[in-house]
């Protein structure tokens, strides 16, 4: 459940920034997001957390990358499209996005 809450939380934060449209996710979107992602089947999410040991070991969600598995006709192989990439303000420029890119690259290499 923590991951589901983190996905909704981070996407809502992203939506409120200029690249996300400067508006919160609707309550309808928030309530349907996880079940819709599960139903779609070709989507997966990479999350990153900041481990705050001074706060009862509470993990703070700070980064999200939503990816969609697809197919390249030019290479006759699977590929991954990155649909959303967001790192929370205050955690940017610390290599978090690079860690997520490295992870999705490894997943992509393992597909083929």
- Tell me the pLDDT tens digit for each residue of 72-92: 999 999 999 999 999 999 999
- What is the number of domains present in the chain? 1
Separation CA 44–CA 9 (nearest Å): 16
DSSP string, 69-84: EEEETTTTEEEEEEEE
Which pairs count as long-range contacts for 50-57, CB under 8 Å and 24+ apart, including other chains? 50/91
The whole domain housing 106 covers 2-111
Query: pTM for this one?
Result: 0.91
Separation CA 109–CA 106 (nearest Å): 5
pLDDT of residue 101: 98
Separation CA 91–CA 62 (nearest Å): 7
Task: Say if residue 68's pLDDT is above 80.
Answer: yes
Locus of tokens 């990155």: 82
Q: What is the CATH number of the domain that holds 53?
A: 3.40.630.30
Task: Say if residue 12's pLDDT is above 60.
Answer: yes
Whether 47 contacts 5, CB under 8 Å: no
């Amino acid at each position: 459940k923590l991951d589901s809450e983190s996905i909704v939380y981070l996407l809502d934060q992203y939506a409120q920034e200029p690249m996300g449209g400067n508006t919160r996710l609707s309550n309808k979107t928030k309530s349907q997001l996880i079940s819709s992602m599960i139903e779609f089947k070709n989507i997966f999410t990479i999350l990153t957390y900041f481990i705050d040991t001074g706060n009862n070991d509470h993990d703070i969600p700070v980064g999200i990358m939503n990816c969609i598995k697809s197919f390249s006709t030019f290479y006759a192989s699977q590929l991954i499209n990155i649909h959303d990439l967001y790192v929370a303000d205050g955690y940017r420029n610390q290599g978090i996005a690079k860690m997520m890119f490295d992870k999705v690259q490894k997943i992509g290499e393992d597909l083929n």
